[in-house]
Amino acid sequence: MNTPESSESTPTSLGRDLSSILSGLSLERLQEVHGFWSGAKAAPLGDRDTLAEELTVWLAEPPRIRERLRSLSKKLHQLLSALLASPRESVSLTELIQRKELGFFGDYELRTALNALEQRALAVSWTGVHGERRFGVPRELRRRIHQLIGNDRRRLAVVFSLWGAWRESQRLLGRSLGDLALEEFEALRAPTAIQARLEGLTEPLRSLVRIAIEQYGGLLPRAALLAKAPATGWQGPGWRQELEASQLGTVHRLELGESGINLTDETLVIYAEVVSATERSTQDIAGPWEVREAGVDILSDLSTLLTFIAQENPRVTVGGQLYKSSRNRLRESLQGGADLEFSQYFSVLFGFVQEAGLVEASPERLLRLSPRSRQWEIQSFREKFEGLIDHLILEPEFGGTTVHQPIMRRLLVSRLRKLPVGQWFDPMVLPFVVRNEYLSRLDRSRAKEEFRARFQSLQHVGLEDLLQMARNLFGWLKSRLQLTGWIDLGRTGGQVRAVRRSSLAGELAQPIVEDGTPTRCLLVNPDHEVVVFPEGCSHELIYHLDRFCEPRQSSPVRLYRITRESVASGAQRGLSSRRILSLLEEHSRAPLPRNVGVHVLEWGERVRVLAIRDLLLLKGEREETLDRLCDDDQIRSWLLKRPAPTVAVFDPRVSKAQLTSRLRELGIVP
């Protein structure tokens, strides 16, 4: 048996072809090499010439090279990569020992690994001009491996998008992207042109592409196809040639495991623009549907939750959660979340107020509003919605690995902003299109680094396959985004059959008009009943009515009632009695009944809203000392007010230690 130092092949140049190197090996060594490249465990039969001839053929077959490279251990694979990366096509043993990426090898272990590569004809060694032992990969094999790596590492934008593939073709042709070339691309991606090219595909590829688009969003791995239709077989090279010639897609081996995606397989890829162009309106799908519109329910429920906490100061568990008894008392007051279990809906509401810092617990575990809750109440209608959507985008508890889903959710919201209001779409169209757009940008993202960091820190990070990525995104769309009222769902038999961008989303996208004329869409009766007509009624008005009225009926005409308790609740939510009357007068079709105005003012005056806050107070003996102190920029940024010449009140978010440290820096002894 050879020692790690020995080698039968000592070529003087890497210029020798593989057949020459193989012919120089002994029969025993050829049998070892043949056994590796055949994948067989039994000793091969045949003489030296027969084995060398078979190996020469095999070492020119890309699929076999790829398959045998995958059979290598991780350490052998890293060592081979180091040999391939050498700029001079060869490297000495000393240079290999000094490589940082091979630092896990001991000296003897490195020699043994090099010998193992030589026994597989993946490396060759010889004595250099200075007497040192040098290693390299046979030149022909090196070129073929580099070509395979290049094909497998094609930029994902080239693989997944028509734009990327077209730009690459123009680069290879040496053409610049001038106006004429861009016009050519626009014509290429026109829906009518795409449809014509799809119709021009031969069978069975045309039917297969239709299945790939409608059921898999344009990305159909080989394993999924063979599991679904084993009789179809896999004709990757032929399909790739026809798809690329038609500029509709490609067939490519995708290895996305390092990015946290469960896929290592040849995949039929339909370009993202082609899938997007086939977005179909659901007018042809059987209806009608049961339409679910969330409106502003979740914002109203958040205000209800904050009011409950302000009034009740409920006790929380050690983990910071409300007890079940408190949740049950609140349950009847909430309007939204009809499609979720109450525990799930309440988890969304409570998770938001905690994450936004609107509540805090005392040392006795009594929940109370934080100073930031007042800022929330005075935020505009749009600001509240945007903050809520941002929170749901980053929600880690919902299905799907947090490496990919938050980015895809943001892409989904961005794409929704561009859709026409009220047009129904197939429910999986948007998740498929967004997933494909995300994958086309994957090699420009930090997904690989983030996934590796989480994996190495022992965080649980599940792997999603391509279909799961889209389904998890759809699950978020129907179970989270729908709560915000941004989308409406069309249901049949409890199943979501269609989605559309809601009128609320369209209203939020309209520019703010400072001096616009308010729509007059309500009437106030002397018995304190408020009748709201749907014509011209904005979601923002409904949200405000929910804050100071008791809802009685939601459709087709909304009915509310103004009560002593509802006015008090509105005051706690930042609406004074005069602001309430102003809102009613702006939108009423008739003058307000006199008794309603009197009662609202009377009830509002009886409400005393007091804010209890922890403050940091500093008291000095001399006014001059405090004046000098307040000249400091840092101190002035912390200062809330000076209720007396020798007293200063500071923001409670500033700690006593921070203030003490700054005072000492200014030469003042606290």
Are 406 and 434 in contact by the 8 Å Cβ rule? The answer is: no
Beta pairing, strands 219-221 & 367-369: unpaired
- State pLDDT tens for residues 635-655: 888 888 888 888 888 877 677
At which residue do the structure tokens 């398959």 appear? Answer: 67
- State pLDDT tens for residues 317-357: 988 888 988 888 888 888 887 778 888 888 889 999 998 88
pLDDT exceeds cutoff 50 at 260: yes
Angle between helices 205-216 and 191-199 (to 10 degrees): 130
Element containing residue 4 per DSSP (H, E): none
Question: 3-state DSSP call for residue 253?
Answer: strand
- State pLDDT tens for residues 346-404: 888 999 999 888 998 888 888 988 888 877 877 888 888 888 999 999 887 666 666 88
Q: What is the pLDDT of residue 442?
A: 83
Q: Which of 538, 521, 517 is nearest to 530 (CA)?
A: 521
Strand 487-492: give its sheet, edge to edge.
290-292, 487-492, 495-501
Which range, of 201-210, 430-439, 587-596, 601-610, averages the lowest pLDDT?
601-610
pLDDT exceeds cutoff 50 at 6: no
All residues at 6 or more sequence positions from 358 whose CB lies less than 8 Å from its CB, including other chains: 306, 369, 370, 372, 373, 376
Q: What is the pLDDT of residue 216?
A: 93
Spatial separation of the C-alpha atoms in residues 133 and 127, rounded to whole Å: 5
Q: Taking residues 201-209, report their average pLDDT.
A: 91
Which range, of 151-160, 229-238, 346-355, 569-578, averages the lowest pLDDT?
151-160
More confident residue, 15 or 314: 314
Q: Where are the alpha helices (DSSP H) in 356-428?
A: 371-378, 381-393, 405-416
Residue 457, judged by CB atoms within 10 A of its CB (0-12, 13-18, 19+), counts as exposed
Best mean pLDDT range from 73-82, 276-285, 341-350? 341-350
Q: What is the pLDDT of residue 150?
A: 58
DSSP letter string, 30-85: HHHHHHHHH--SSPP-S-HHHHHHHHHHHTT-HHHHHHHHHTS-HHHHHHHHHHHH
pLDDT exceeds cutoff 60 at 439: yes
- State pLDDT tens for residues 598-623: 998 988 887 765 555 667 788 888 88
Cα 638 to the chain's mean position, in Å? 37
pLDDT exceeds cutoff 80 at 513: no
Q: Taking residues 96-103, report their average pLDDT.
A: 79
Token pair for 493: 């038999």
All residues at 6 or more sequence positions from 502 whose CB lies less than 8 Å from its CB, including other chains: 293, 294, 421, 485, 486, 487, 488
More confident residue, 224 or 107: 224
Q: What is the pLDDT of residue 8?
A: 38
Token pair for 347: 């988890």
Spatial separation of the C-alpha atoms in residues 192 and 189, rounded to whole Å: 8
Q: What is the pLDDT of residue 61?
A: 81
